[in-house]
Amino acid sequence: MMNYLRTNMSLVIKTIEMHAGGGGVRIVQSGYPKIIGDTLHDKLQYAQKNLDHLRKMLTHEPRGSNRLHGIVQVEHDNPEADMAILFLYTEGYSNFCGHATIGLGRYAVDHGIVRRVSPETAIKIQCPTGLVTAHVEYENGRAGAVRFECVPAFVYATDLMINMVDYGDIKYDISVGGSFYIYTNIKQFGLDLVTSSAADIKATAHKMMKAVGDTITMTHPVDDQPAVIGGVYFFSGPLASLPDTINEICIFFETVCRSPCGSGSCGLLALLHHKGLIKEGDVRRFVNSKTQSVFSGRVVKQVKVKDTPAVIPEISGKAYYTGECTFFCEQDDPQPSFLIK
């Protein structure tokens, strides 16, 4: 680094860059201040209050974009966990991200954060949404494919109808796979997963999220806290006739997912199981209709979330390294981060 820059740096953060199914993953290696708190929830609140400028620096332009999720490792307070993390993205701090978990699984094994075991290494990851177990293939000194068992996924409501301007009556379901998602057939909107533009699909998803949000007040069954729709998961055709390979695209807040959306696919597995369309162990392939990237998933077992029937979903995929970065911010930079929507 040039000498005159060294004297003008407010901070330097180093990261490893990856992607899983096309979804960007930015893992902080060094430079992030210690995140204080007795519990992961406390640490999340501390980061929101005291370190949000760093989240923006890493996920907003000119260094980031809404196409990636950042990961910051913190000390875990769950005695079962091997590690704990916070997920960063352009809009804030997400409870969970499936493609980022796939990237983190490979990274943790490759970098010796956990004891490596062949042919598969298990990692228990404490996330804001709960404890997630990742299983990472490990052979010949190299980590491979990752499968993770998510927190319980459950159906919130099914066979709902809403009348939308320009579209008429739209049928949809709400299911939860770490976040609350709307599940709906994109053909109802006169759109196509492949030929319609990502911009049109995103705009339609936002209209749907607003319409549903204005109509339904939701609470999470665990803590009765208010819940919001995190995204819209579009598929093509009637739910009952979806094939083993499901073409999809998910809009998560401002993001058009580049991967087949791990958390969204967890919710879909719960929905398919709830409707009797799959049973435990049945494998489904999820294909992002824009990138053609593939994850696979299955229902591992049935559980309950309080009194609500739920399932443990498992998602499998691969992650790849794309680079390593050293990010810095000069003290007199008038635009350390910005976000254009």
Indicate whether 336 pLDDT > 90: no
Q: Roughly what angle, to the nearest 10 degrees, separates helices 98-110 and 262-274?
A: 120
Quick check: do 3-149+321-330 and 154-316 share a fold? yes
Percent of the chain having pLDDT more than 90? 83
Per-residue model confidence (pLDDT) at position 333: 87
C-alpha separations of 259 from 41, 207, 312 in Å: 27, 22, 21
State the CATH class of domain 3-149+321-330: alpha beta
pLDDT per residue as tens digits for the range 100-150: 999 999 999 999 999 999 999 999 999 998 999 999 999 988 999 999 999
Range list of H helices, the chain: 3-6, 40-50, 52-59, 98-110, 198-215, 262-274
State the CATH class of domain 154-316: alpha beta
Per-residue model confidence (pLDDT) at position 223: 79
For the purposes of burial, counting CB atoms within 10 Å of the CB of 265, is it exposed (0-12), middle (13-18) or buried (19 or more)? buried
Residues marked as catalytic: 97
- Residue ranges per domain, the chain? 3-149+321-330, 154-316
Confidence of residue 2 (pLDDT cuts 50, 70, 90): low
Per-residue model confidence (pLDDT) at position 66: 84
Indicate whether 6 pLDDT > 70: no
- Stated length of the chain: 341
pLDDT per residue as tens digits for the range 242-272: 999 999 999 988 889 999 999 999 999 999 9
- For 51, the token pair is 């370190």
21: alpha, beta or left, given left = phi > 0 and alpha = psi -120 to 50?
left
| Residue 154 β-bridge partners | 176
Confidence of residue 192 (pLDDT cuts 50, 70, 90): very high
Indicate whether 3 pLDDT > 90: no
Rounded Cα distance between 292 and 99, Å, is: 15
| Residue 250 β-bridge partners | 233
pLDDT per residue as tens digits for the range 211-233: 999 999 888 887 778 888 989 99
Q: Is the peptide bond before 79 cis (omega within 30 degrees of 0)?
A: no
Range 44-61 average pLDDT: 96
Range 89-109 average pLDDT: 95
pLDDT per residue as tens digits for the range 150-165: 999 999 999 999 999 9
Indicate whether 14 pLDDT > 80: yes
Indicate whether 81 pLDDT > 90: yes
